[in-house]
Structure 1
Amino acid sequence: MPVDELQLHLLPTSRTHAKVTPVGIPDVREERGARENPVTSKSPPASSFADHDSNVGFIGLGVMGQPMALNLARGGTRLVVWNRTPDRCAPLEAHGAFVAATPAEVFARARVVFVMLVDEGAIDAVLGRGTSSFGAFVEGRVLVVASSITPGYARALAADVEAHGGSYVEAPVSGSRVPAEQGALVGMLAGDEVIVEQIRPLFGLMCRKTVYCGNIGDALLMKLAVNQFLITMVTGLAEAAHFARRQGLDLQRFQAVVDAGPMASSVSRIKIAKIVERDFAVQAAISDVFKSASMIGDEARASGIAAPLIEVCRALFGETMALGATRDDMAAVVRALEARTSASEGGAEPSPSEASGARS
């Protein structure tokens, strides 16, 4: 499954997991070998929220979803998981999770269900939105959507869930694969504050910090604002490195100056190393950055907000995709800058090794 979203890559941190007993999730324990009819099975009414161990569902075990779910399992959460490609479920099963045969079975066995899917179409398909299954799935459940989706879509989905007797929590995260593995994400939460607080202990296993952002849509807008800073910052760093290289400067010395200066951050240190070493192994994919930049630009235009920098970034990431770097890391945006320089000169770019050694 593709990377679910653009994420901020943080430096490694150590973390010790403790078992969490979330408030407000009724126990639906069943024998692992018994599979009931997911459509006719009924979970307890919302008023029966109880303070004890319970099943939590997790749908979508991609680059982000799998480590997030693993941290829940390691923390003692009783998980029921499903993924379109079943092999992604194996590590969860090894940690005691029940692997559901279908999304319907997840909803039959769990009252709180996390969804971390690639896009809005995938969410609608899994939830059976627009079909009779949708109401059966969400009634009496808390649906926690961590996917990167548009605020407008989230508001409409939340309204549909609530109209069918469910509760909706918006929960995008900031962080890439490594912080997801370490339980060091930053969670942005929105929705009914009472419901959010009931499930908030679960986020302590996946996030180093959570911030309540307000109404549905606000957490996604917060993530877009954070990503706007990230995208423009990394693009600016790539442009600066390209400028230094074309001026004949030693890029390792440029890296040393930036890393030692007041602008240095965990992100800048990671991304400048990737640019200098031409290591574009994915952390946050070009295609996901382009998607995020497009969402930011669209929201800005719809609100009458000037956002010229993100429009430049969107163009550059689009050009990088056109160069065949769709699944490269966002640091590969430097390739679009190199291509523009080459086109303006009518010649080829110097090789990175030639440029880095041009001046001593």
Structure 2
Amino acid sequence: MTQPTGSSRAPLYGFVGLGVMGQPMALNLARAGTPLVVWNRTADRAEALHAAGAQIATSVEDVFARARVVIVMLLDEAVTDTVLGRGGPAFEKLVADRIVVSMGSTAPEYARGLAADVHAAGGRFVEAPVSGSRRPAEGGELVAMLGGDRETVEEVRPLLAPMCRETVYCGPAGTGVLMKLAVNLYLDTTIAALAEAVHFAQRQGLDLETFRAVVDSGQLGSGVTRVKVPMLAAHDFTVQAATSDAYANTRLIADAARAAGIATPLLDLSSDLYGESVRLGNGRLDMSSVLTAIESRTDTAPGRSTD
């Protein structure tokens, strides 16, 4: 690979996409001393990175010109294609002789297609979708599921350490995101079930602090319950993982399941609830806002008393 231009601290590493997850992830890299150049479509999201010592690029092309390895953490497939110029002449120039590390949530076939396009342009590709929401991202406690050729994955793996407490190799491109879909199926249905349990306890007049203590004292207690039960009890939907993203993930999982002829009854019910919460205006609130969809069903149930 040719050596990109950079500062005296070269080689620089690139980071594109400073959203709810991307910003704390990049901050952990910068604070760990990783020489970093970053870019975001909304420029003010980069201010915290500048304060942490990262260099701010003027464009995505500037990032790729200065960094040999570039992490991409963008909202979805369409945004990723647009930012990278995929399908146009700029794409090959952008990714040639570079390693693209895709950490966003995508469909498996998209990851495989992007990997093929990057390789055809003379670059290399690693997928590294993560399990965890904003709080684990802030604490460097994410789990990355890695896909790609083993040699490139091992080259990239040390870069991920400040962001991730675990990095697990899953196989060739496409298997990392498939693994994330499997994990997210468990997560999405669990959050919906937890919201329903809190709703049941609350409408039955139980003390929710006592409910939390019982759950956390038993075998179902986890980092998820310790974070989400207080949020649900207080109707605090400060975003950790957005409802619209959770809904989009359920659709990705369902599509992958249908393509393989797999039934997902619990996922399908949960997806309906996340979709209802989005339609209630909660798309950019935390996914625990699924509670409002359950409440709405209770409040509009036929024959419900208004006393």
TM-score interval for Structure 1 and Structure 2 normalised by the shorter chain: over 0.9
Query: RMSD of aligned C-alpha atoms?
Result: 1.9
- Paired residue for 1:115, among 69, 72, 75? 72
Q: Taking every aligned residue pair, what percent have the same amino acid on both sides?
A: 54
Match of 1:304, SS state, is coil
Which residue of structure 2 lines up, in the alignment, with residue 195 of structure 1? Answer: 152
1:212-231 correspondence runs (5 A): 212-231=169-188
Match of 1:275, SS state, is helix
Output the CA distance in 2 between the equivalents of 1:251 and 1:95: 39
Amino acid in the other structure paired with 1:284 = A
- Paired residue for 2:243, among 276, 286, 289? 286
Match of 2:283, SS state, is coil
Higher helix share goes to which structure? Answer: 2
Which residue of structure 2 lines up, in the alignment, with residue 124 of structure 1? Answer: 81
Write the deviation string for residues 23-59 of structure 1: whole angstroms up to 9, x where unpaired: x99563347xxxxxxxxxxxxxxxxxxxx95111111
Amino acid in the other structure paired with 2:44 = D
Amino acid in the other structure paired with 2:296 = A
Which residue of structure 1 lines up, in the alignment, with residue 216 of structure 2? Answer: 259
Deviation at 1:150, TM superposition (A): 1.0
Which residue of structure 2 lines up, in the alignment, with residue 5 of structure 1? Answer: none
Output the CA distance in 2 between the equivalents of 1:193 and 1:204: 17
Cα distance change on mapping 1:263 and 1:164 into 2, 3 Å: same
- Paired residue for 1:90, among 47, 69, 82? 47
Which residue of structure 2 lines up, in the alignment, with residue 66 of structure 1? Answer: 23
Deviation at 1:255, TM superposition (A): 2.2
Amino acid in the other structure paired with 2:218 = G
1:171-320 correspondence runs (5 A): 171-320=128-277
2:278 is the counterpart of 1:321? yes
Deviation at 1:311, TM superposition (A): 0.1
Output the CA distance in 1 between the equivalents of 2:4 and 2:200: 59
Output the CA distance in 2 between the equivalents of 1:182 and 1:348: 46
Q: Mean alpha-carbon deviation: is it higher for 336-345 or for 140-149?
A: 336-345
RCO higher in structure (CA 8 A, sep ≥6) = 1
Deviation at 1:63, TM superposition (A): 1.5
- The alignment of Structure 1 onto Structure 2 pairs a total of residues equal to 307
Write the deviation string for residues 276-299 of structure 1: whole angstroms up to 9, x where unpaired: 122122211211111111111111
Matched-pair contact (CA < 8 Å) for 1:54–1:77: no
Which residue of structure 2 lines up, in the alignment, with residue 344 of structure 1? Answer: 301
For structure 1, the 5+ residue unaligned runs are 1-23, 32-51, 351-360
Output the CA distance in 2 between the equivalents of 1:259 and 1:345: 35
Output the CA distance in 1 between the equivalents of 2:139 and 2:305: 42
2:34 is the counterpart of 1:28? no
Cα distance change on mapping 1:259 and 1:80 into 2, 3 Å: same
Amino acid in the other structure paired with 1:234 = I
2:81 is the counterpart of 1:104? no
Matched-pair contact (CA < 8 Å) for 1:297–1:307: yes
Deviation at 1:138, TM superposition (A): 0.9
Output the CA distance in 2 between the equivalents of 1:314 and 1:349: 29
Q: Mean alpha-carbon deviation: is it higher for 155-164 or for 249-258?
A: 249-258
Which residue of structure 2 lines up, in the alignment, with residue 7 of structure 1? Answer: none
For structure 2, the 5+ residue unaligned runs are none
Matched-pair contact (CA < 8 Å) for 1:57–1:110: yes
Which residue of structure 1 lines up, in the alignment, with residue 108 of structure 2? Answer: 151
Deviation at 1:348, TM superposition (A): 6.9
Match of 1:344, SS state, is coil
Q: Which is greater in Rg?
A: 1
Matched-pair contact (CA < 8 Å) for 1:25–1:112: no
Output the CA distance in 2 between the equivalents of 1:30 and 1:255: 51
Q: Mean alpha-carbon deviation: is it higher for 148-157 or for 173-182?
A: 173-182
Amino acid in the other structure paired with 1:58 = F
Amino acid in the other structure paired with 1:343 = T
Output the CA distance in 1 between the equivalents of 2:161 and 2:181: 22
